[in-house]
């Protein structure tokens, strides 16, 4: 993960936190149930229980707001950072 991303500080975080996905075109959020959460500085990749990777931002309170799906391939999602 660190070699692929080029981020030597990349780390797995506890998925026990609030993780939401912004709903496009609305001022609403969908609750995500992650089973994996990877942090790359303030950016995160979150794997939802359906196998999709979502990109988001880690907030100061530890929650994550995601804005889009990057598919089911982790390598492709990391390259999307």
pLDDT at 50: 87
CATH number at residue 40: 2.30.30
Q: Structure pTM?
A: 0.84
Question: In the structure encoding, which two tokens stand for residue 22, read together?
Answer: 């912004």
Task: Report CA-CA distances (Å) from 54 to 6, 22, 67.
Answer: 19, 11, 7
- The pLDDT of residue 11 is above 90: no
- The pLDDT of residue 1 is above 60: no
Question: Domain containing 30: what range?
Answer: 2-79
Neighbours of 50 (CB within 10 A): 10
Q: How many domains does the chain have?
A: 1
The H or E element containing residue 48 is strand 43-48
Q: How far apart are CA 29 and CA 50, in angstroms?
A: 17
pLDDT, tens only, 48-81: 988 999 999 999 999 999 998 999 999 898 888 8
């Amino acid at each position: 993960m660190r070699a692929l991303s080029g981020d030597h500080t990349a780390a797995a975080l506890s998925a026990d936190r609030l993780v939401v996905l912004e709903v496009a075109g609305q001022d609403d959020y969908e609750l995500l149930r992650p089973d994996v959460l990877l942090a790359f500085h303030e950016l995160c990749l979150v794997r939802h229980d359906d196998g999709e990777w979502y990109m988001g931002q880690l907030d100061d309170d530890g929650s994550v707001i995601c804005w889009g799906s990057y598919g089911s391939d982790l390598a492709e999602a990391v390259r999307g950072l």
